[in-house]
Amino acid sequence: MNHSIHSADRATHLKIVVVALVAGIGVAAFGIATRTSADLTQTAQSAHVVKAGKPVTVTSSGTSQIR
């Protein structure tokens, strides 16, 4: 058995590419299926707006340092 990817033949490289492609398609299909089922349960979406307050300058943390 050859344990080096550099000296592997064409069939071995093709097998690796096919396995990676099938795994990628499986992960993408799982993600799409999970996302679409989660979207069906959430019918109303609301955006939360967070506005910035006044600028604050911190000069000291107020904690004691132990050395």
Write the pLDDT tens digit of every residue in 1-60.
667 777 888 888 899 999 999 999 999 999 888 876 555 555 556 677 888 888 877 677
Please give the pLDDT value at position 42: 54
Q: What is the pLDDT of residue 46?
A: 63
Helix extents (H) in the chain: 10-41
pTM beyond 0.95, yes or no: no
Contact 38, 44 (CB under 8 A): no
What pLDDT does residue 56 have?
76
Q: How many CA atoms lie within 13 A of 23 on its CB side?
A: 6
How confident is the model at residue 15, as a pLDDT?
Answer: 92
User: Residue 12 is encoded by which pair of tokens?
Assistant: 């071995």
Distances (CA, A) of 57 to 27, 39, 60, 64: 47, 42, 9, 19
